Structure 1
Amino acid sequence: MAKTADIVWSNCLKIIKDIVEWQHYKTWFEPIKPVELKDYILLIQVPSQFFYEYLEEHYVNLLAKTLKRELGKDARLEYRIMVDSGNSNNKPLTMDIPANNIKTYSNNEMDFPLVINNPVKNPFVIPGLKKMQIDPQLNPIYTFDSFIEGDCNRVARRAGKTVAEKPGANSFNPLVVYGGVGLGKTHLGQAIGNEVKRLHPSKVVLYVSSEKFINQFQDHSRNNAINDFIHFYQLIDVLIIDDVQFFNRAERSQDAFFAIFNHLHQSGKQLVLSSDKPPKDLDGLQERLLSRFRWGLSADLQMPDYDTRIEILDKKMKNDGLDMPREVVKYVSYNINSNIRELEGALISLLAQSSLNKREIDLELAKKVLRNFVKTSSKEITIDTIQKMVCEFFDVPYDKLLQKTRKREIVQARQITMFLAKAFTKNSLKTIGEHFGGRDHTTVIHSCQTVKDLMDTDSLFRENVMELQQKVQLAAM
């Protein structure tokens, strides 16, 4: 029976499978397709230029030995390289590399022609270095240590850590992080890049915004250097692209990114992408790109909860060597609940006002500064509302709050309710007293003073009052 390319290659794979690790076999040998057997020359098809170079560098001896075992000492191997044109209407380009190293091409309609021998230009060259080196475009302040974990971001942060520890060798490829403005997408992306550089110094990492990518592509297009542009990005081990939703206005840039994405993903490289929406909701992007975004993990970043906002402020103050009264930290954290950027902006504004006015930071100053950040209350809080909130907080029956009793827990709950009613309503002391079983204004005054004194001496009591104040403020928004 005459040997065919399929039979020869199948026999080679049986040997190779017993020699190389299973994962390496799946990655580097299963994608290869036998094309033709002519005399003693086996032509195999590989997915990309990078794939061919990797085989030549790591497995050339193994390939030569197995092939000679099948075809004899005159056996030779040739490669056919497939290059995705980025345009589904065109046929894929093939590049044959025969034994004499003469390269031949087919399909000249390819959008991004491949030129092997031209040097690749680097748009991120670091001045002063003799050899080409890629500036990762990373800010060292963005790390996992400074990225506070909470319920709002736990999945995304932990997935990012996994990616940084094993870039390209994990299930989260690509990792797509999405969320609104100021929720930490850029921070997390850069933290992944910085962690990769720390753990894997030899890895080539690049962080780039989609706008910069698009601008670079347009510059290279005008200079007829699209080939250089694509080849440069194919050198990256970990590519982090911010705000991919802006690709919707750049059709040809999407074509280029599609070719780059395919090459990197196929080569076991890591992609990290961020957007303002999940992939399924991104408009204006090619479906073939969106389908690839869904290959890995999509993790959202939500608005940080109250406890996480406090941790963020604490971390920020610690890093900057700052100190603020606890009640101010809680007040700021409670009232700035939109995003992290506004939270840090409020802290900076508070520090600026304190410095310019030579004034200690206190709750009064915080309230004044936060007027520019907090929307004016649109609801009017009533005494009844506060009474119900306090009863629920302390698990005290509503009717007990109005009765004449000396039980400590009831008395304190009533005093706190009067204190809050005075602070958050426009009612007179007499009216407040009438809402507590017809008590007079002197009782209200005494209750308010008692609450203030206890807040100065009893930390647990102060914590409870502060938390109730925050609940009332939230009800007023």
Structure 2
Amino acid sequence: MELNMNLSGNLNLDNEQAALAGSIWHNALKIIQPQLAKMLFVTWVEPLVPFYVDENYLYLAVQDNFSYRYLLKYVNLFEEALAASNSFKLQVKLFVGNEGMQQALASIKASTFNNSTDNQSQVSDPGQPNLPLDSNNTARKDTQKTAINNTTETSTAESAGGYVTVERPSSPTSTKTTTAPTQTISSANQTTNSSPLAAEIVVNPLYQQHFRRDYRFDNFIVGPNNTMAHAACLAIANSYFNPGQKPYNPLFLYGGSGLGKTHLLNAVGNMVMQHRPNTKILYLQTEEFVNEFIATIRKQNYNVFRNKYRNCDLLLIDDIQFIEGKEQMQEEFFYTFNALYENNSYIIITCDKHPRYLVTLEDRLKTRFLSGLACDINPPTYETRMAILQARAQSLQENIDPDIISYIAKNISLNIRELEGALNSVLAIKHLSGYINLALAQKALEPVIKRNMEKTVSPDFIADVVANYYNVSKAQLYSRCKESKFTYPRHIAMYFCRELLDMTYADISQAFNRSDHTTTRNACLKIAKSLSSDLQLQKELANIQKSLHEQ
């Protein structure tokens, strides 16, 4: 939706007020921007349009109802920034779209006119109907009755769509509707009373989901290792409220365990359910899908199973690699995927590897998984690990020596779960002994860090990572099998042992159960030679090296 910034002129209001509003808001943005994540600022705050200002209020226009609801929680921040940047206090009013701006400007014009003819004026909230007032300054009962009837009609219409809206009892002095096209807020104190989320939605029990409340976008630490995945998930969540957006579908997230894939799935679910509770979402582990399908075969109730999975609005499925080797299950998921895709339902899938390395997955499923957008999530960099640990300590209201945080971040790089586990160990010592210092932390974390370092530097760990990347077993790398699907990753593993660990060819041969180190030498030289011209090999080695946590 494009906002028309010439409305003030159309309503014969002074355009200088719009220019002044823009200048005041520009000053405030300099204070707001450093306090918010870049993605949040660009997505939500930057599009706000200041269109009028008076002695008490700054008027801002938002794109749509969802943006309005999302930005309510930042009104306090906006008002503090306005006070700090302009040396006078203003309250913020938010209006939705062109219609909201028109109503606001019309009310301002009416107020100005009334002030010129009468010292006393009644200016209603431009975002709500103008209710006639009786002698006691309260809304007439017949008007309230009409508003309540309008709400009831909305509830009936919504219930016809498969869910029921149950109105919470409202106070005698306030009448709320959940779908008003223009909603306003003048200060943080009015947030609760004027909140558009005044109705409790009861959805079809088939699609009632329970997401982890602590897995949200606002506490997901974004770094170079996950920027694309985070942005893609946020775009899909936003698309439910901004129909003009058309993110990639399906979205395939892949990466090792403990890197944040499940966090992102829950964040999408939490965001959609918070603002659109009637959305039919299915979130599950692939293992649950498999078990439910097995139960369906046993009970022969295919229609129930298919109606559930093929009629949802959003499918979030975790760890799709567990569908490998299950032919009948793959066929069922193939048809489920097609049905959802044709219905324009979004699909987000996570996996521990790229689809092309799911060896026993049918090609028709691989091509569908790759028809949208595939995003990898890599191990976090040192800076990202520091941010994760600091955010975790802050959420627990714990004050930890920065040297301890840095020590953990430098020595534990495998995944986020291990990072948080190490922090929990340090906090446990602090609570038990009453204090913690770097020496105590180092002693407590010695076994964890030793395991981490052994994994990071050992040929065995390299073999693990390479075998996982090419979807073969580590035993096959150590075997004497000469099939190309085993020899190729074996040569890659040998090459990494040579390059990263500076091992001799004899030591590499011994590590990989080879008797002739000449063969090992030839394998390493062959990979090195191909690397100069083979772009695909360069990409593969880069991905593997990231997985080996070479920061």
TM-score (normalizing by structure 1):
0.50
Match 2:445 to one of 347, 370, 373: 370
Q: State the shift of 1:133 in Å.
A: 4.5
Match 2:227 to one of 132, 154, 160: 154
Matching residue of 1:263: 339
- Point out the structure with max Rg over C-alpha: 1
Counterparts of 2:282 and 2:219, CA distance in 1: 20
Return closer, same or farther for 1:233/1:197 CA change in 2, 3 Å cut-off.
same
Counterparts of 1:184 and 1:205, CA distance in 2: 20
RMSD between aligned alpha carbons?
Answer: 2.1
What pairs with 1:47-446 in structure 2 (closer than 5 Å)? 132-167=205-240, 170-356=246-432, 358-375=433-450
Query: Structure 1: any 5+ residue segments left out of the alignment?
Result: 1-128, 379-476
Q: State the shift of 1:354 in Å.
A: 2.2
Q: Deviations over 1:271-296 (max 9, x none)?
A: 00000011111121111111110111
Q: Deviations over 1:101-121 (max 9, x none)?
A: xxxxxxxxxxxxxxxxxxxxx
AA aligned opposite 1:216: E
Contact kept in structure 2, 1:136 and 1:204, CA below 8 Å: no
AA aligned opposite 1:283: V
Counterparts of 1:206 and 1:365, CA distance in 2: 45
AA aligned opposite 1:373: V
Q: Deviations over 1:61-87 (max 9, x none)?
A: xxxxxxxxxxxxxxxxxxxxxxxxxxx
Query: Structure 2: any 5+ residue segments left out of the alignment?
Result: 1-201, 455-550
Contact kept in structure 2, 1:137 and 1:208, CA below 8 Å: no
Q: Deviations over 1:34-53 (max 9, x none)?
A: xxxxxxxxxxxxxxxxxxxx
TM-score (normalizing by structure 2):
0.44
AA aligned opposite 2:395: N
Return closer, same or farther for 1:130/1:150 CA change in 2, 3 Å cut-off.
closer
AA aligned opposite 1:282: L
- Structure 1 vs Structure 2: percent identity of aligned residues? 37
1:177 aligns to what SS in structure 2? strand
Q: Deviations over 1:284-332 (max 9, x none)?
A: 1111111110111000110100110111011111111111011111111
Q: Deviations over 1:172-228 (max 9, x none)?
A: 110000000111111111111111222333211121000000000000110001221
Higher helix share: 2
Report how many residues are paired. Answer: 251
AA aligned opposite 2:436: I
Contact kept in structure 1, 2:310 and 2:340, CA below 8 Å: yes
Counterparts of 2:317 and 2:404, CA distance in 1: 37
Contact kept in structure 2, 1:177 and 1:273, CA below 8 Å: yes
2:344 aligns to what SS in structure 1? coil
AA aligned opposite 2:449: V
Counterparts of 1:362 and 1:300, CA distance in 2: 37
Counterparts of 1:374 and 1:294, CA distance in 2: 37
Contact kept in structure 1, 2:429 and 2:435, CA below 8 Å: no
AA aligned opposite 1:139: R
Q: State the shift of 1:243 in Å.
A: 0.4
Q: State the shift of 1:343 in Å.
A: 0.1
Counterparts of 1:130 and 1:330, CA distance in 2: 46
Contact kept in structure 2, 1:137 and 1:206, CA below 8 Å: no
AA aligned opposite 1:362: N
AA aligned opposite 1:176: F
Counterparts of 1:349 and 1:135, CA distance in 2: 36
Counterparts of 1:179 and 1:276, CA distance in 2: 5
1:373 aligns to what SS in structure 2? helix
AA aligned opposite 2:209: P
Counterparts of 1:338 and 1:310, CA distance in 2: 14
Q: Deviations over 1:155-185 (max 9, x none)?
A: 1001110011115962311000000011111
